[in-house]
Chains A and B, each alone.
Chain A
């Protein structure tokens, strides 16, 4: 947390209302996101209790597991979830545009330009909180290795169709959510804390109701009061008025409402099963099953009572975010998300197996490198898009802004003299500059111009422009600032690239499993590998854990 954020927290605590934490929207917000509000059973990994899902805020689809310990009912829930989510996820697969992409030609080894399909838009999932993102990852893990009757006729408990496929999509979305700045799967609390600063601590900001209270309190209340109310207010039965955003439920709700209702449901089912066994028919059996339906409806209503306020809160958050103008680089980052979506679509279409349980060392190294690059890019782009973020960088000494006081023409040494004008800027900022430090600024046409710090004195910082002025002897129009201009130099690159490329598969170092073992039948021809590559595609069920799946 930077001092500027701390200052905003102080202001918010003092005024009782949230303060802006950004001046533009830093994440892509789809015009038609799918909101997914899941609930889980306490104490059990991946035993969903219910969910609200849908793209229409007025008509969410309610899914409930009346008895989460029942495997059949959980299976039915997942099948229903696949029915809701898969059409949405698939719905963006066919509208494509073509993009030119540079790829290495496998035969010649040279870079060639190829035409690749890129989906014009991508589906976006919104969940209430960070815990919701973790639950999506968990759901993906629990579903993607299951086998439908079609895939494996021998399977003892075949999965409903669509479940393994949804598991793979949720896994992909869950993994993508770990990439900084990505927008395929976003938590509402994360979105709101990025754009507003409240007068409470970061840990307390994880409560969606309290967060909305700070940002957009109901009439007559300050944000602080509304947040406190959302956090603690209970009705006469001791139940939270603003239920937690899940996926965990409030223990008081579990113990006072849900557990008795589930017990009634269990009893009704036992009675119905008993009636069936005893050979009852007709009206008595019908009555028994009606009891089951009624008890199930009761559980449904209870689960919905916990889900609906959260559903509405997420959409309120969407409204608040839509009021912000989008940042200039958001579309570029969203395009990377579209690439991610497109490539997963291609993997599914190619019939590749589901993602492995654990990444092998090479994949892990690649993912880590991708995320590091994405983080650096996000940091740079957010600063360029948003003066408030740039202010944080300026405070940290990583950028400086000021008025140009002098521009002195100069040319480079060498056989072909090039313009290298000296620009002096007066600034109040305290950048970490030394002679020779490379700095960057944005040109009016959006390109980045490099420079080098030459001198720093009481009259300002003098920077020698080293590029972005065209190839001529005279700098291109508009590429050199005029005295009186306000410009901002950054000490960080505007389009940071990742580190060095990872080695080819044949040159994988032993630390990462060594080169893949070639299975060409001769055995002796293959170079001796110090260790075989770890099994990557371990997709079978756990050998010792028969109950591995939901």
Chain B
């Protein structure tokens, strides 16, 4: 792991702080899992915006100040009063027992230094919330997810823990819900983003429950066996655990018993966790750890085992489908709902309204895409030894001094999977597009074009085949293209506009 971390740091360039991935980027990445270029650059924490600018193809992304101000005002309104409005919306749309009295909602402070610390603090707060059996509202918790072999820290807008110990991810968006409906594309993007949060939160929930269990068992032994592990350098890139299957989720669950054994985690102890976490691989051999999932099963709060109750009373405003079985194990899957709450401004006002969104489909897709994402080690191993994406910034950290040609050559060593959809989602897309266009790749014309043309991958090749100059006539794609070319030529000749209209 240290080797990979070292390699990624080299790729990023010495002295460059890694750029954290966010859920939006992850959702975009999961939408194009075949793109090794994006997976590696994002995984290594390369600043793609600066990279694209240095390559001479800056991304025209930006956020208007007006949208920013308005979005902040909207979120402030939701957070006001200890989130009273948000709890009202959650209760109104999802049900879940008695509405809380004002002041009854727990809003834990999740502040802690560093993403690791915040994630640990979130896990501890989750464990407390599960034990408390009351409404708990967590604003901007921090959860982690393994992506292509390296950890990513994610920050959902809010997570609500219901009194029955079930969590709902809340996604706050600034597009309006007009007369009960919203832009389908925007809702879809929000759902994909929320799916990433739910996956990460399930890991955190199972970890929190394991911590709670260990705390109950109060096995001082566990703490002592876990604490003095080998402590390699604690870099910005954390431990890498297995991602696939149940084994992957069992490991995080048992990863970190130390803080929980010491009671609620304070920011102070969160920092102290790093060494303990680093000995993850060693834990796999620890026979004592194998019991933890079983124990977790036994110690589940009774109400969480009753699916009927878990999904709210009959009077719940929205039909909430039963959770699909999650690979993260039954306890974690049931803990985090696969229905998220989308909170948006209502109509033309700045007042919030909420809609439950069933994201089971997005969850399944995202999980599958994340699993099949090529692992970073493999991508990195395929690169020439001395490859780096270092911009060699000047001392003020603004101007890159590395020649664009050299940089482009380095980027070229990682194959992209460009599609026009990338333009809306990836900072490097304009660079990839000019490359795709330059090499005459048919992908530049759209995924559909690529699909229709079969084995013909370049514009010149496809046109040659259409004209009958190249290609194998027995190839169905070539034959269809020739027929299309003949019909098109005939039609244009009939209309007498061949090469005419619009082509001045």
Contact = CB atoms under 8 A, between A and B. Distances in A.
A108 interface: no
A387 B495 contact: yes
Interface string A14-52: 110111100110000000000000000111111000000
Interface residues of B, number: 63
A259 interface: yes
Contact of B462 (A10, A15, A142, A388): A10
Contact of B420 (A44, A201, A216, A545): A201
A3 B503 CA distance: 21
A357 B348 CA distance: 13
Given A20-B497, A200-B445, A216-B502, A391 B348 contact: no
Nearest to A223: B503
A394 B445 contact: no
Contacts of A19: 502-503
Interface string A377-393: 00000000011101110
B180 A358 contact: yes
A542 interface: yes
B62 A44 contact: no
Interface in B64-110: 64-71
A8 B446 CA distance: 13
A254 B347 contact: no
Give the most central of A251, A320, A358, A544: most B CB within 10 Å.
A251
Interface in B425-445: 430, 437, 440, 442, 444-445
Contacts of A546: 349
A388 B179 contact: no
Nearest to A254: B64
B418 to A, nearest CB: 11
B460 interface: yes
A99 interface: no
Nearest to A204: B420
A546 B495 CA distance: 58
A428 B446 CA distance: 30
Give the most central of B446, B448, B503: most A CB within 10 Å.
B503
B426 to A, nearest CB: 13
B329 to A, nearest CB: 40
A9 B462 CA distance: 11
Given A3-B484, A9-B445, A320 B502 contact: yes
Contact of A3 (B349, B424, B452, B497): B452
A45 to B, nearest CB: 4
B175 A45 contact: yes
A1 interface: yes
Give the most central of B176, B348, B500: most A CB within 10 Å.
B348
Given A4-B488, A391-B490, A13 B495 contact: no
Given A17-B503, A20-B501, A395 B348 contact: no
Contacts of B495: 23-24, 386-388
A59 interface: no
A522 interface: no
B434 to A, nearest CB: 8
A394 to B, nearest CB: 6
B492 A255 contact: no
Interface residues of A, number: 73
Contacts of B437: 13, 224
Contact of B501 (A240, A258, A323, A386): A323
Given A138-B178, A199-B445, A259-B66, A395 B345 contact: no
Contacts of A11: 463
A18 B492 contact: no
Contacts of B63: 251
B174 A43 contact: yes
A425 interface: no
Interface string B36-74: 000000000000000000000000101111111111000
A547 interface: yes
Given A20-B492, A387-B491, A254 B65 contact: yes
Nearest to B443: A201
Contacts of A204: 420, 423
Interface in B161-181: 174-176, 178-180
B501 A324 contact: yes
B351 interface: yes
Give the most central of A14, A45, A141, A249: most B CB within 10 Å.
A45
A545 B459 CA distance: 55
A474 interface: no
B501 A41 contact: no
Nearest to B421: A203
Contact of B481 (A7, A255, A391): A7
Nearest to B445: A9
Nearest to B180: A358
A232 interface: yes
B492 A23 contact: yes
Contacts of A1: 446, 448-449, 452
Contact of B466 (A7, A195, A200, A215): A7
A249 B64 contact: yes
Contact of B487 (A320, A324, A395, A550): A395
Nearest to B73: A43
A44 B494 contact: no
Contact of B65 (A4, A15, A255, A390): A255
B466 to A, nearest CB: 6
A20 B459 contact: no
Nearest to A430: B483
B445 A43 contact: no
B55 to A, nearest CB: 13
Nearest to B58: A232
Given A7-B466, A7-B481, A254-B64, A13 B351 contact: no
A550 B71 CA distance: 18
B349 A255 contact: no
Give the most central of B66, B345, B463: most A CB within 10 Å.
B66
Contacts of A273: none
B374 interface: no
Interface in B465-491: 466, 480-481, 483-488, 490-491
Nearest to A228: B434
A252 interface: yes
Contact of B491 (A23, A138, A216, A250): A23
Given A240-B60, A387-B491, A549-B348, 7 more contacts: A14-B459, A138-B178, A141-B179, A255-B65, A386-B491, A391-B487, A545-B346
29 contacts: A1-B446, A1-B449, A6-B453, A7-B484, A8-B488, A10-B445, A10-B462, A10-B463, A13-B440, A13-B459, A14-B460, A17-B503, A18-B502, A24-B495, A43-B64, A195-B502, A202-B420, A203-B446, A216-B504, A240-B60, A250-B60, A251-B63, A259-B66, A358-B180, A388-B488, A391-B487, A395-B483, A395-B487, A549-B348
Nearest 10 A/B pairs, CB to CB: A43-B67, A23-B495, A251-B62, A42-B64, A201-B420, A547-B349, A45-B176, A254-B64, A387-B491, A391-B487
